Amino acid sequence: MRKAIPALILVCLILSACGQTRTFEGALFRTDTDKSAFGVDCSDEINKGKVNVDDVGYVCTVKTDGKTRLKDAEGRSLKPEDFSSGDLVRVMLSRAQTITESNRSFQAKEIVLLEAK
């Protein structure tokens, strides 16, 4: 019985990680005036796996700090002002999280400019 407990705990940890997002892509809607956050379309993540989805768009607030890496697809460093509304970006979160209609604010580890508008 004692040997089954660690295996059960491992299975629970693996299942709890399912459905969590570490990275997503979306169009950039805005940057805050102090350049400490980006508004990124996260509708695809919220609607992932759903059927008969309404045409509702969701914007996630992606916070940045001094540790957040901003770069282009080739790996060159960028500044917040290098990003514009409409750009396609890939966001890597600081930790995996479940993105939902009510949970849409996250700390970014990295933001990559994939396609500039």
User: Does position 38 have pLDDT exceeding 50, yes or no?
Assistant: yes
Distance CA 76, CA 5 (A): 47
Sheet strands (E) in the chain:
21-31, 37-41, 59-63, 69-72, 88-97, 105-115
The pTM score is 0.79
CATH architecture of the domain formed by 20-115:
Beta Barrel (2.40)
Task: Tell me what percent of the residues of the chain surpass a pLDDT of 90.
Answer: 64
Q: Which residue has the higher pLDDT, 73 or 30?
A: 73
Q: Which residue type occupies 42?
A: C
